[in-house]
Structure 1
């Protein structure tokens, strides 16, 4: 990632735009991932896709998209601006910026975004699985769901507030902090190392696509078990897993369960992260 000119405002705007592009691409895959992670009964990825398709494209695959789009704007705006600002801070004390500086900047960016990302992902995850359950019971996957609420977003937010108050919106903060701090460090450093290597071999604007895709793949592969625990904690109010303790969840679902939905997550990470970095670099270069 080019560090010649750092403009925090532009970083936020370009990050926000690239985040929306990436989220729009990945959201249908993410819905299947969250449902697989949170399912109380064994089900294959194909069965889950078929069941979700039966609910309709918008109501099934894109249920709860509005909150994540807002989240993607904020998330990537904060990620890119805090990452580059942190690198600038390191430059004031050490002009030789190396991989350790980029890793620490990535960790700082991930830590910073976690506090905003947690409530947004809480609403998103609960909406994504809301069609799978009715009050007091768990539906069979694929069973239709109806709602009398005109605004599912405000309804879900109100339910969370009624049950747990303001602090309830940060349910799942601990695993989110772990996932984002370590994961974002891996995300940025993977991108930086790969893009630098590819630029030396053959300079091309398309290098950011390859580097971004592999950065996303590495992030998800390394942090997926933590993400599964986070999803289970955040969907407990809808599907009633019986516990919100991270260690209890890990013990209850086992190693195999911790990786439920990994395949579709890795598939979705390639185009989504490729476009996040590509669009960011393209905007930064031309505007």
Structure 2
């Protein structure tokens, strides 16, 4: 197994969370709460009522768990790619086909759902708590006091399966998105790497990482909206009976455009986040594979 890919994916994932978390909070709120009419209105409202800390709600758990889930994604991707290459050509040294890359990315995206889902629902619910920051005139108390309290409260009130609300939408988001993500990254690196050079330069890695992230989110945003709505459906009055009902109700009430709520933010966030992810990933892999 390529253990270096698991370790490098973990480091890259944690760095990516730190870079993109504020915009992720704004994106989740726009997708799930109708009171926000635009990105800037959401940003201004969050700053006014919650302060800067409002953009970082629930970040402690994702930093830890995304490290694990990114480790699973990159490790599964690399090892599946190795298996498919060996099955197809009988050698580990042969080139990977585009289909091999796509299928390996798909496997990596789906594989991380079991790890990602409980942490993701905690993140989303904490991000959607809009109680004022300390020192404000309002004294309303939030339902969840922090990541661990949120996790335990969901498990107590909704059962252990409540931690996996939206997991089907998460799998349908991350499978195709990561397949697109890795395929785009490899194609761009292949195009921009000079003939005879084995590894792409750092400029190519940064550009390919950023663009592949944007492409992945373009594919994944519709299911991202449904996932987020299912995950917050439990903080108050239940609105959706399930996955299909959430899709049909969202479409009926808000039209087809609802499935691309937050797309601009996702793409804006994806470029710097995935530049960071792939730069950290490639650097750590290089260090681990060249160290004695």
The answer to whether the superposition gives a TM-score over 0.5 is yes
Supply the distance in 1 between the matched residues of 2:236 and 2:38 (Cα, whole angstroms): 18
- Alpha carbons 1:83, 1:105 under 8 Å: kept: yes
TM-score (norm 1): 0.88
Contact 2:29 2:127 survives alignment (8 Å): yes
Query: Aligned equivalents of 1:67 and 1:143: distance in 2?
Result: 29
- Structure 1 position 115, deviation (Å): 1.7
How far did 1:239 drift?
5.0
| Map of 1:215 onto structure 2 | 212
Matched, 1:18 2:12: yes
Match of 1:278 in 2: 279
What residue number does 1:178 align with? Answer: 172
- The 3-state SS of whatever aligns with 1:179 is helix
Please name the residue that 1:102 is paired with: 101
User: Which residue matches 2:51?
Assistant: 56
Q: 2:230 aligns with which of 219, 230, 233?
A: 233
Give the drift of 1:132: 5.9
Q: Distance in 1 between matches of 2:75 and 2:252?
A: 38
Shift of 1:181: 0.9
Q: Which residue of 2 aligns with 1:261?
A: 262
User: Aligned to 1:131, what secondary structure does the other structure show?
Assistant: coil
Query: Matched residues in 2 for 1:149 and 1:265: separation?
Result: 27
- TM-score of the two chains, using structure 2 as the length reference: 0.86
Q: How many residues align?
A: 272
Cα deviations by residue, 1:231-262 (Å, 9 ceiling, x for unpaired): 11101122546114332333333222222222
Conserved in 1, the CA contact under 8 Å of 2:46 and 2:130? Answer: no
Per-residue displacement from partner, 1:90-120 (whole Å, max 9, x unpaired)?
1322235211011111111111011211111
The answer for unaligned runs of 5 or more in structure 1 is: 1-6, 134-141
Q: CA RMSD in A?
A: 2.3
> Can you give the 5+ residue segments of structure 2 that lack an aligned partner in the other structure?
none
